Amino acid sequence: MISIKQLSLCVVFVLAGTGTAWSVGVTYEGTEGPGVGKHLVFVTGDEEYRSEEGMPQLAKILAVHHGFTCTVLFAINKETGEIDPVTLDNIPGLEALDGADLMVLFTRFRELPDSQMKHIVDFTNSGKPIIALRTATHPFNYIKNLDSPYAKYTWNNKDKAFKGGFGRQILGETWVSHYGHHGVESTRGEILPEMKAHPIVQGCEDIWGPTDVYTIRKLTGDSQPLVRGIVLTGMNPDDPAHTEKTTKHPIAWIKSHTGDSGKVSRVFTTTMGTSQDFNSEGLRRLLVNAVYWGVGLEEQIPARSKVDIVGDYAPTPFGFGAHKKGLKPEDHALK
């Protein structure tokens, strides 16, 4: 039987000079599986798609079933120490990235202080792998500190040298628009025929989620689409495909990114990822497989990676202002 040690990652967060130490993240330390010895850091913070719920569940799956050590960081209210996706300028604990083997990024329109953003950018330039979900195509939005050395990472950067910011330059695309009708038309994932032998898509026959298909103009660099999205007419997995919205935009792809260090990172991006999407076994397996591929363990991906839900999981529907209030990172510890 696999055991797991639950730890809270504590970072001193000073409130009004009191020196109060708050837990700003949670770490699940796996003890058995191919991932033992690998540390994954999940950076969350979006107001709409409940990354603060979905990412702890994915981290638990990777720790319990596969042995990875997983640290999940959150947007934290500076006054209460509570998880608060609406706090756009504070994700404490990012120092954990300095020794991480892989970063999972799921943020939306953050404007972090330079001292925090530095850890994300340093990791991005390190040659280590990156997994990005949904709004990570538009993860940063600098509107106040335009003189920051990191302002170029903003999602709609117009500078030709770094057009489209972090999303387009590093992941392959930035935010463009909704293609499916948001909240009305769900997404069925279809593996590209020529990519069916790729290790990331093994066992991912059934991918579905209530999030809609994003518009993708043209992926940058050496991007290779793995899965494309079929727009369904409703919010149920058995709803028929839309007969007018027939363009199958990529919803999962891989690429490489060469950072300022000259080192090359493996990158996997999916535009799916709301907490409800994780009810899809196929999507969970896609992401677990992507982690294996990212850290160079693709030869150990089985035909069907184990992705059983760990503990209770009742995800909150996506939407602004819908996040659960009053929670702290330790509330996500395994019970």
List pLDDT tens digits, range 13-50.
333 333 445 678 999 999 999 999 999 999 999 999 99
Rounded to whole angstroms, how far apart are CA atoms 140 and 185? Answer: 27
Identify the pLDDT of residue 272: 98
- Look at the alpha carbons of 288, 214, 136, 234 in this order and tell me if their dihedral is positive or negative: negative
Identify the pLDDT of residue 21: 54
Identify the pLDDT of residue 19: 41
- Look at the alpha carbons of 205, 211, 212, 213 in this order and tell me if their dihedral is positive or negative: negative
Give the ranges where the chain is alpha helix by DSSP (H): 51-66, 114-124, 165-166, 281-294
- What residues contact 101, with CB distance under 8 A and at least 6 apart? 38, 39, 40, 128, 129, 295
Strand order in 224-231's β-sheet? 4-12, 21-30, 69-73, 39-45, 102-107, 130-133, 264-270, 250-258, 224-231, 187-191, 207-209
Rounded to whole angstroms, how far apart are CA atoms 168 and 36? Answer: 32
The answer to whether residues 251 and 186 touch, using CB atoms and an 8 Å cutoff, is no
**30 strand-pairing partners:** 4
Summarize pLDDT for 135-144 with one digit per residue, the tens: 999 999 999 9
Residue 83 DSSP symbol? B
Low-confidence residues of the chain, pLDDT below 50?
1-20
The reported pTM is 0.94
Identify the pLDDT of residue 22: 63
Helix 51-66 vs helix 281-294: crossing angle, to nearest 10: 70
What are the chain's domains? 4-177+252-321 (3.40.50)
